[in-house]
Structure 1
Amino acid sequence: MSQTDSNHEELSFQDFVTNYLERGLVRKLNVINKFAVEAELVSGAVSLHGGQPVPKVVFTIGSIEYFEDELNKVQDRLNIPLNERIPVVYEERTSWLSYLMPILPTMLLIGGLYYLTTRRVQAPGGRGSGSGPFGFGKSTAKLFNQETDVKIKFKDVAGCDESKEEIMEFVKFLQDPQKYEKLGAKIPRGAILSGPPGTGKTLLAKATAGEAGVPFLSVSGSEFVEMFVGVGASRVRDLFKTAREMAPAIIFVDEIDAIGKERGGGKFGGGGNDEREATLNQLLVEMDGFSSSDHIVVIAGTNRPDVLDKALLRPGRFDRHISIDVPDVEGRKEIFKVHLAKLKLKAIEDININEKSIDFDKYQAMKDSKIENLAGRLAALTPGFAGADIANVCNEGALIAAREDSPSVETYHFEQAIERVIAGLEKKSRMLTLEEKKTVSYHEAGHAICGWYLEFADPLVKVSIIPRGQGALGYAQYLPKDQYLTSKEQYNHQMIMALGGRVSEELHFDTVTSGASDDFKKVTQMAQSMILKLGMSERLGKINYDEDSERTIHHLYSEETAQIIDEEVKRLIDEAYQKCHDLLSSKLDLVDKVAKELYKKEVLTREDMIRLCGPRPFPDRNDAFDKYIKGGEDPFKKRKPTDQV
């Protein structure tokens, strides 16, 4: 038995009976929650320990039945009349925790959901997604204006001058709308920037944000798509509401094909995702809801303008369709100049070291001339490269120079970077046997000789038997010119050159290898394109049989036509093979000479081919090659000694 506080003490049932009940000190009994009894004592009752007055004592019981039975026995033994017996009261007492525990899991779940919906912190310069449990419907567009750190200007975007002019017209309209409105002109609603990946669509939009001087709201098309129904349409409404409050303003939606795909397209099923269509419908409504005084322009970027809904492209919504194509040689040159200006180049270092006495204007002119020459050379070496590819080449060149501990970046660093981008990483660990190396040498020599003696072949720059990429054991680098039309004869010469490797193997070895598998794929694709798309078959006529493989279940032509197509494709390939066989048979000594030299040195340049075979009998048709490679002055005379090992 122990005293717990000054108001009551705890004891056993026997102690309670002996010391309190039999002595007549108990006034009332309270049974609490069926396991404890609180006995209220008469005034003046004292504790068994210390003699201090106590108003009540507490003891526990095993069961109510046992307690009641023992209590009656004690009172019977004491001869207490029924009307004077101690009153017993039964109580149920509970704490606040007993009420909280049943609903605690539900409260934790609600609190977690509330935390998740309000935790989405907005990024610097952005509006965020709003607060509160309904913040999912708020726009996630980032806001840029003249006070933000958008450093990209139109001068930093090269190779797409016509597109910059189109975009700049929108910027000028928003900066001075009265100039156009006083003549009755209305602001164009929007513009679609389309083109292959890496051509600078998003970069052009960033430059627009840097030049505009008006609020610029940038958002990705995928940000309108959420797992919650109705969120996309709600975000579109909030985006345009914000733009109207900030007008004049520009909205840029990157990768708009995420929500703008054609509705009801395809032949399988009912028309696509309802949530995406609801988002697209809301976008159409918002763009139609502009008034002439809104002064809001919507610019969108996409790689796939062919899949966009026609309602999105009609006049009154996206009025302008701005196509950004892969740059030509002059465009690539301008892009290279932008990126080269940020690198530490060998030619510029030489000017600083050797000609410190020259004045600033002369130094700047010499610097610009060196960069101009190098940019032209690299532009000629990179046909078909987009802006992102060119930025990658410049960065790879600097990385290669850094790995070699070079104090500056030289020309051969960029040439290695171009080879890496075109043909893949050099596989130094892939060791060929002597027989395999000999086979690859004759294979690549066959390609090189065909290209050297075909009039419409592209200029050869380098041929190599160093393994690269995923499975290439050798490759030849050519420089096709920027052209928009290809003749039937040019296709035939390209097919002959592609078959040169297999034909060379047949002429010099008893058996052939699998090395020509990629060549056959290219030849087949060219032949099929000539027959199915370009109408270059006299037997089939001028018909286009091109099909969308994703949407077409059956061919659009008969079985008889399919047989004719197969025969025509085979005919073109067989004719190219025979011409290639005749050409290489007449040049067997040159094939052998080039293959042995290639086997020995592993890399042959154009100068090596001229030394072995003499000048090419046909003039080169690539003006950029004549200007920057063959006749141009190389600003960097130094060459890596191991470049041809």
Structure 2
Amino acid sequence: MGMVKFNIGSVDSFERKLENAQDELGIPQNERIPVAYTTEGSILASVATFLPTILLIGGLLYITKRGAQGGSGGIFGVGKSKAKLFNQETDIKVSFKDVAGMDEAKVEIMEFVNFLKDPKKYERLGAKIPRGAILSGPPGTGKTLVAKATAGEAGVPFLSVSGSEFVEMFVGVGSSRVRDLFKTARKMAPSIIFIDEIDAIGKARGQGGQFGGNDERESTLNQMLVEMDGFSSSDHVIVLAGTNRPDILDPALLRPGRFDRHISIDKPDIEGRKSIFKVYLKKIKTTLDLDELAGRLSALTPGFAGADVANCVNEAALIAARKGAHTVTIVHFEQAIERVIAGLEKKSRVLSPEERKTVAYHEAGHAICGWYLKYADPLLKVSIIPRGQGALGYAQYLPPDIQLLSTAELSDRMAMTLGGRVSEEIHFSSVTSGASDDFKKVTAIATNMVTTWGMSEKIGWLNFDDGQQRFNKPFSETTGQLIDQEVRRIIQEAHDKCKKLLVEKKHEVGLVAEELLAKEVITREDMIRLLGPRPFPERNDAFDKYLDKSKLGDFGKTNV
């Protein structure tokens, strides 16, 4: 019998057609053609079937191999430290001569520099240098700059990392990165580790927001404690950490043997700002005497931190360049200070005549109160030009840097703050919403007088300042009602004092307001021309030292 081989697409279709053909030919069942089936497939098709599985297994083997080669890096290397290494020869060009306005902090931190330069000098006497220091202070005061200057002075490797870089979604990554960081630092010893914003991982344990003993942040903190406490005297690795909130750090982190030095870097006083201005003024082009210019600018910028000073100098240079000037003048600096304090001029915001008049009388109320109240801060400038942050006008004062305020001084300050609203009450049939920020400031002062500073006879010498902002108030409901009454009484007394003064000086308020409407900006010299000399001596020594134009010679005349 012959045999025929061929390929078919579908077995069911072939059998059905074969059966129909044999039925039509009348072939008996016992004589019908037998059919045998065999299945054939290509090697490529077989491999394609198992390709996804092969790729998955290969990928897992590759990842495992990379993890083994990375040591503490783990899968994908996520456990490796992300610290940036700065080397003195290539990166660190900062020294203590570049750090100004924080002499006390530099004295304290010089001990670390001396140890890293000559550790045997201390070790032969059995002394051990503190292993870590917390640099705490408000933002922009130069904590990172001090740490870099320490590394630059000591001439050692400097490892910089942010506290938030230890926190990842993978469990155990933070601890691994801490171990890798300290391992790297020990290999390069003597060296410095700087952890910025350490409160990201150093918060006190057991204060809520955690999820049991396996909390990633807590395990990272525990590893940090172990690594710091595991130093030996021969490690020669110093850990510096910066934070704006030292009060929330874990006590175990601050104990002797870990971060046992606490170096506070506060905002600079007027002399500190002067030295900082000198550092940054050297970098710009100006023909003014730098010492005299730095003194004047430091007096104009109370409360500025180092970063604010740098921003102010840079802004002045930008303004000078924008106007096509060849050098930066005092006018550019004063415009930069105004922009930093009050925001950019909104020239596109056009006020109606009624709005301009209201703003003028509002600012005139502030100015008159500041001029005739004994304990008010020195007035420098009043403006009704709209600026950023929603301000339609502002009055610039120069408060002293160190403030030990009495009840009389606080009363005058509140009265001066309320001067804008009271002036509107006196001169217009209805008031506006422009005094909302003034009310916020007054309420804060009065509340502190009652709850924090013990300046209320009914409340007494108690402090109810709740720094942790708990949900439960630290006083009873009866005491709360009494506090509300005292706050209202203090603000009402300040309002009455302000209203009495502005009613008596209604003519003077009108003179200042009309001058503002005519010139938009008036200075202290304009106030003296309109009202005569201020009846009280200024209590801010910096004002007479740096801003009195009668003592500044030609330099003072450049801004008239």
Q: TM-score surpassing 0.5? A: yes
CA distance in 2, matches of 1:272, 1:444: 58
Please report how far the alpha carbon of residue 61 of structure 1 lies from its aligned counterpart in structure 2 after TM superposition. Answer: 12
Is 1:306 matched up with 2:237? no
1:493 is matched by which residue type in structure 2? D
Q: Does the residue aligned with 2:240 lie in a helix, a strand or coil?
A: strand
Instruction: Report the counterpart of residue 316 of structure 1 in structure 2.
Output: 257
CA distance in 1, matches of 2:295, 2:478: 52
Q: Offset of 1:97 from its aligned partner?
A: 4.1
CA distance in structure 2 between the aligned counterparts of 1:620 and 1:113, rounded to whole angstroms: 78
Aligned to 1:579: 497
C-alpha displacement of 1:137: 1.1
Match of 2:408 in 1: 489
Contact 1:129 1:136 in 2 (8 A): no
Partner of 1:5 in structure 2? none
Higher relative contact order (CA 8 A, sep 6+): 2
CA distance in 1, matches of 2:66, 2:534: 71
In 2: Cα distance, 1:533 partner to 1:150 partner: 45
Residue 124 of structure 1 corresponds to: none
> How much has 1:87 moved relative to structure 2?
12
Q: Choose the corresponding residue for 1:405, options 297, 315, 324.
A: 324
RMSD: 3.2
Matched, 1:556 2:474: yes
- TM-score, length basis structure 1: 0.79
Matched residue type, 2:338 = E
What is residue 388 of structure 1 aligned with on the other side?
307
Q: Which amino acid aligns with 2:552?
A: G
Q: Paired residue for 2:155, among 187, 191, 213? A: 213
Give the whole-Å Cα distance in 2 for the aligned partners of 1:109 and 1:589. Answer: 90
Contact 1:167–1:208 (CA under 8 A) maintained in structure 2: yes
Q: Does 1:509 align with 2:428?
A: yes
Aligned to 1:635: 555
The residue that corresponds to 1:44 in the other structure is: none
Pairing of 1:232-631 with structure 2 (within 5 A): 232-266=174-208, 274-347=215-288, 370-548=289-467, 550=469, 552-630=470-548, 631=551
Deviations 1:358-392 (A, max 9, x none): xxxxxxxxxxxx01111111110000000111111
2:92 paired residue among 146, 150, 153: 150
In structure 1, the partner of 2:30 is none
Equivalent residues, number: 551
Distance 1:238 1:86, change over 3 A: same
SS where residue 171 of structure 1 aligns? helix
- CA contact under 8 A between 1:411 and 1:636: conserved in structure 2? no
**Quick one: structure 1 residues 536 and 639, their matched pair in 2 at CA, closer, same or farther if it must change by over 3 Å?**
closer
CA distance in 2, matches of 1:384, 1:284: 36
The aligned amino acid for 1:601 is: K
| Matched AA of 2:395 | A
Paired residue secondary structure (1:583): helix
Q: Following TM superposition, by how much is the alpha carbon of 1:627 offset from its aligned partner in structure 2, in angstroms?
A: 0.8
Cα gap change, 1:129 to 1:511, in 2 (>3 Å): farther
What's the TM-score, normalizing by structure 2? 0.91
Compute the displacement of 1:417 (Å).
0.8
1:629 to 1:117, Cα distance in 2 relative to 1, 3 A: farther
Unaligned runs of 5+ in 2: 28-32
Q: Distance in 1 between the 2:118 and 2:457 partners?
A: 59
Contact 1:374 1:634 in 2 (8 A): no
The secondary structure found in structure 2 opposite 1:515 is coil
User: In the alignment, which residue of structure 2 is the partner of 1:7?
Assistant: none
Quote the Cα distance in structure 1 between the aligned partners of 2:213 and 2:223. Answer: 16
Deviations, residues 407-450 of structure 1 (Å, cap 9, x unaligned): 11111111111111111111111111111111111111111111
User: Which one-letter code corresponds to 2:94 in the other structure?
Assistant: I
Query: 453-462 or 501-510, which moves further after superposition?
Result: 501-510
Checking the alignment, whether the CA contact within 8 Å between 2:182 and 2:227 is kept in structure 1 is: yes
Q: CA deviation at 1:226?
A: 0.8
Matches within 5 A, 1:64-79: none
- CA–CA distance in 1 between the matches of 2:153 and 2:325? 38
Query: Which residue, 124, 142, 151 being the options, matches 1:200?
Result: 142
In 1, Cα distance between the equivalents of 2:184 and 2:294?
44
Q: How far off is 1:300 after superposition?
A: 0.4
Cα deviation 1:157-212 (Å, max 9, x = unaligned): 11111112222221220121001111111121100000000001112122223222
Q: C-alpha separation between the residues in 1 aligned to 2:368 and 2:213?
A: 53
**Residues 440 and 61 from structure 1, CA distance in 2 versus in 1: closer, same or farther, beyond 3 angstroms?**
closer
Q: Which has the larger radius of gyration?
A: 1
Structure 1 residue ranges without an equivalent (≥5):
1-20, 23-27, 37-59, 77-84, 120-127, 348-369, 641-645
Alignment of 1:162-177 (within 5 A): 162-177=104-119
Q: Which moved more, 1:239-248 or 1:605-614?
A: 239-248
The answer as to whether partners of 1:31 and 1:89 remain within 8 angstroms in 2 is no
Q: Measure how far apart 1:107 and its partner are.
A: 2.2
Q: How many Å separate the matches in 2 of 1:171 and 1:522?
A: 44
Q: Distance in 2 between matches of 1:117 and 1:611?
A: 83
Distance 1:104 1:620, change over 3 A: same
**For 2:38, what is the secondary structure of its paired residue?**
strand
- Residue identity over aligned pairs, in percent, reads 65
Q: Whole-Å Cα distance in 2 between the matches of residues 506 and 200 of structure 1?
A: 45
Separation in structure 1 between the aligned mates of residue 429 and residue 64 of structure 2, nearest angstrom: 71
